[in-house]
Amino acid sequence: MEALFDTIGGIRIDRPEHGCTGPTCSWCSYQDTIAEQATQPPRAKFDEAWLRAVTKWRKGLPIGGTFTADDLIATYGHPVGHPNQIGSLFSWWSESGIIKAVGRVASKRATNNRRSIQVWEVTSWR
The verdict on residue 52 lying in a domain is yes
| Residues 62, 99 contacting (CB under 8 angstroms) | no
Range of the domain at 13: 7-37
pLDDT greater at residue 65 or residue 14: 65
Verify that 71 and 103 share a domain, yes or no.
Answer: yes
| Residues 79, 85 contacting (CB under 8 angstroms) | yes
Verify that 75 and 53 share a domain, yes or no.
Answer: yes
Residue 1 is predicted with a pLDDT of 47
User: What CATH number is attached to the domain comprising 89?
Assistant: 1.10.10
Interval 45-56: pLDDT, tens: 889 999 999 999
Residue 31 is predicted with a pLDDT of 75
**3-class secondary structure for 54-115?**
HHHHHHCCCCCCEECHHHHHHHHCCCCCCCCHHHHHHHHHHHCCCEEEEEEEECCCHHHCCC
Residue 30 is predicted with a pLDDT of 77
Amino acid making up residue 37: Q
Compute how many other C-beta atoms are within 10 angstroms of the C-beta atom of residue 68. Answer: 19
Q: Is the pLDDT of residue 108 over 50?
A: yes
Interval 22-40: pLDDT, tens: 777 777 777 777 667 666 6
Arithmetic mean of pLDDT, 66-76: 95
